[in-house]
Structure 1
Amino acid sequence: MSQSDILFDYKHIWHPYSSIVNPLPCYSIISAKGVYLKLKNGKKIIDGMSSWWSTIHGYNHPILNKSLKKQIRKMSHVMFGGITHPSAILLCRKLIKLTPKKLDCVFLSDSGSVSIEVAIKMLIQYWESLGQKRTKILTIKNGYHGDTFAAMSISDPNNSMHEIYNKFLPKNLFADAPTSSFHKEWNPFDIESFRKIIKENSLKIAGVVLEPIVQGVGGMNFYHPMYLKNVKKLCQNYSIPLVFDEIATGFGRTGKLFAFQHADVVPDILCIGKAMTGGTITLAATLASRNIADAISTSSRKCFMHGPTYMANPLACAAANANIKILEKNEWQKQISSIEKQLHENLLPLIHHERVIDVRILGAIGVVECRHFVNMPLIQSFFVKNGVWIRPFRKIIYIVPPYIINSDEIKKLINAIKKALDNDVFFM
């Protein structure tokens, strides 16, 4: 990659959550293998982010690569309207087998945010099929569900990056976020805000949408499983469908295949994405219960009104099938357990650092919450110089490494965080 390429990027390419006039620094990656990203100068850095939670088996995994090569020799894409293909059928079989028996109708899309849009459209069309106009979604504060418009409307309205769009977005219902943390005692009062809202608005609510156990961009909070149990019970009492957003947490990240399994409850609709293809190519899915799918499909419209062009892309489906094949070997459980143990041993002690409010660990997720906002450009440069890729946000420094990471590589990630905490210049 030439200097002119870098200058072109700087001037013309708009990167996520950045400015086109004064963009955040970008680091040129020319290749990746295992847990390492290779910079244009030849230096290798450890990816502590799994490319935003997705590359769970590391980069250039031979099984994933083989699946893509095999599929592309047949076809890279074909429309899914009026057509089907073996990779999609096999994937849907696998997804139904992996998830609770109740979730046996699969709608494939091309990103996690779109899978949330699909779920919300399902909820609205479900109630229309029953002769009711319900358009309100109940969720909890500090949530994040994606950057498309319906997804933004159920992300935290005041403390999220989407605040600027509030006047345009539909108004939904937000209960207080639970304060009982995953590893501490359950406080029954946590559910009262949710209980009050669902009781007072039960005839307006089309569905409840939550990130189970782990609230991601909203603050990396891990809440108590009893909260989910109580939410499920209230949804059943009022016959309101429950949707779980497992886009970030699905496929083992929290120590369970899906985070909702920590609470032993089952949603009516499940959204998955990110790690579904092992970080190779974009794909997502919305799994619905049979009664919701049947109600939509037997209504006056006769069909579900959504159809992405790249729905069930054969390449993506092939990669997802290979990814699930790797997971089915069950090595991920041992890998996650090992990562979690080391995070407790090496990351948790940072809770005593003067710049740290809290350290939270669950599965292969390690979170350091700082007292002050992080200076993103400076700390990012520091991490790269120290051989790691960690991308903080606001007051949060967190790592979600690939499952294949080894002990020395985890130590390097944690040591870089520790060194950063010791330096005034990285905090505002």
Structure 2
Amino acid sequence: MNNYDTNFDLKHIWHPYSSMCNPITAYPVISAKKIYLKLSNGKRIIDGMSSWWSAIHGYNNPILNRALKKQINKMSHVMFGGITHPPAIALCKNLILLTPKELECIFLADSGSVAIEVSMKMAFQYWQSLGFVKKVFLTIKNGYHGDTFAAMSVCDPKKSMHNIYNNWLPKHLFAKSPKSKFGKKWLSEDINSFYALLKENHKIIAGIILEPIVQGVGGMNFYHPNYLYEVRLLANSYKIPLIIDEIATGFGRTGKLFAYEYANIVPDILCLGKSITGGTMTLSAVISTRHIAEVISQGICKCLMHGPTFMGNPLACSVANENIKILKKNHWQKQVKNIEKQLIYSLLPLNSHEKVYDVRVLGAIGVVECKYIINIKKIQKFFVSQGVWIRPFKNLIYITPPYIIDKKSLKKLTNAIILSLNYNDFFYINL
């Protein structure tokens, strides 16, 4: 590590959710291949996070690399305003084939948060084009949708990392988070809070936005598919657009290609991101029904008022197309199912551990919810010493490994989690 100016990094470089006064150690990674990150001291560690859900095929995949190299020799980028190109057309064809037939119109954005912003703009413009002013969104507590302002406004207003911005954010409606857990008994009264808010406020609600089945950074809760199904029925009855945020869950992570499939529903607007390029580049997509697109296009502006500079980036589109091919070739369903089986076997016994509140597994997601807040700096150092990369937050230790991970490596990840629970100084037990 001495070959790298980590002191400069600590003093001058912001990392996600970090402090410039008391920063958490940033470990220098010099290369990555398959499931491994190589540190500057030569140590290889197994990545249990898939670079925050995205690197589903691991790193330095030769097929994805070839796609990037082939495209960069033609053009790395060209503005999408008034111009189109084969990689974008091919990607949109692929996405239409992967999603329900009702979803026809695609906006290619440049990050997950921007996709959420675009979807919310679509809902606003939809109603504006119909002659209504609707400014409020309905969602559920414990949700997370991104770090930009509109996205933050539909994250949990009290428990999310964004609650410090509450005085600046638009005020939206938050129903109680579902109590019915995935794989457990459905509690029909679960939908009552949502229904009550919708019934009372439907005249001002522009859209409904939800993470399907898995609530991510808001607490890694896995809720019952019936809840999502009931939300779809209510959205239909009040004719309010339903936005589904599949940015984290999309492309197989939960065991379905898209998590909303567990509820057998179709959203009006679908947001995709993260693993859309196999974790190689930033890209997102917002896919709407033809009806919503046409209403917006016939409204006051005659167009959707959004256009990022790097929208439809050719490099990102090219690698996204290859990513979809790899998903099909690698039989992602079998990969994810194998990960799920091993996570269930290794992690579920932790339910009896004195420091553990709950253990949850769905697809290639494993969550250990602890009874205490975690000392991230200390536990991170321990995980690295064990040869793994796991990034906990709050009281949650979770892993979202690459689909290509082997049994031995996955066992190393789960063993590191099990061992970490034996150290009291990794947890703020007295809080």
Aligned to 1:152: 152
Secondary structure of 1:138's counterpart equals strand
Name the SS for the 2:293 alignment partner: helix
Corresponding residue of 2:62: 62
2:34 alignment counterpart: 34
Q: Shift of the alpha carbon at 1:258?
A: 0.2
Q: Compute the RMSD of aligned alpha carbons.
A: 0.8
Q: Which amino acid aligns with 1:115?
A: A
Which residue of the partner structure matches residue 44 of structure 2?
44
Change (3 A) 1:39 1:125: same
Query: For 1:344, what is the secondary structure of its paired residue?
Result: helix
- Note the alpha carbon deviations across 1:174-218, whole angstroms, 9 max, x for none: 000000000100000100000000000011000000000000001
1:20 offset after TM fit, Å? 1.1
> What CA deviation, in whole Å up to 9, does each residue of 1:40-86 have, x standing for no partner?
00000000000000000000001100100000000000000000000
What residue identity is the alignment partner of 2:250? G
Size of the aligned set, in residue pairs, is 428
Letter in 2 for 1:256: K
Q: Please say if residues 3 and 40 of structure 2, whose CA atoms lie closer than 8 Å, have aligned partners that are also in contact.
A: no
The unaligned stretches of length 5 or more in structure 1 are none
Q: Tell me the residue number matched to 1:187.
A: 187
Give the Cα–Cα distance (whole angstroms) in 2 for the partners of residues 67 and 352 of structure 1: 47
Measured against aligned partners, the alpha-carbon deviations of 1:289-330 in whole angstroms (never above 9, x if no partner) come to 000000000112111100000000000000100000111225
Q: Which residue is equivalent to 1:248?
A: 248
User: Which digits, 9 at most, give the CA deviation of each residue in 1:118-148, with x for residues without a partner?
Assistant: 0000000000000000110000000000000
Within 5 Å, give how 1:391-410 maps onto structure 2.
391-410=391-410
Alpha-carbon distance between aligned partners in 2 of 1:21 and 1:130, rounded to the nearest angstrom: 50
- Secondary structure at the counterpart of residue 281 of structure 1: coil
2:239 aligned partner: 239
Q: Does 1:283 align with 2:283?
A: yes
How far apart are the structure 2 equivalents of 1:188 and 1:4? Answer: 56
Specify the alignment match of 1:215 in structure 2. 215
Helix, strand or coil at the partner of 2:373:
coil
Residues 113-122 or 327-336, more deviating: 327-336
- Counterpart amino acid of 2:86? P
User: Is the 2:4–2:28 contact (alpha carbons within 8 Å) kept by the matching residues of 1?
Assistant: no
The one-letter code of the counterpart of 2:274 is: K
Overall identity of the aligned pairs, in %: 65
| Partners of 1:101 and 1:129 in 2: CA distance | 24
SS in 2 for 1:328: helix
1:375-386 → structure 2 map (5 Å cutoff): 375-386=375-386
Q: How many angstroms apart in 2 are the aligned matches of 1:19 and 1:377?
A: 12
Per-residue Cα deviation, 1:353-392 (whole angstroms, up to 9, x for no partner): 1100110000000000001000000000000000000000
Matched with 1:169 is 169
Deviation at 1:5, TM superposition (A): 2.1
- Kindly provide the amino acid, as one letter, of the partner of residue 53 in structure 1: W
After TM superposition, list the pairs within 5 Å mapping 1:88-167 onto structure 2. Answer: 88-167=88-167
Distance 2:273 2:2 in 1: 34
Counterpart of 2:409 in structure 1: which amino acid?
E
Q: Which residue of 2 aligns with 1:389?
A: 389
- Match in the other structure for 1:323: 323
Is structure 2 residue 229 aligned with structure 1 residue 229? Answer: yes
* TM-score, with length taken from structure 2: 0.98
Aligned to 1:9: 9
Q: 2:106 aligns to what SS in structure 1?
A: strand
For structure 2, the residue ranges without an aligned partner over 5 or more in a row are none
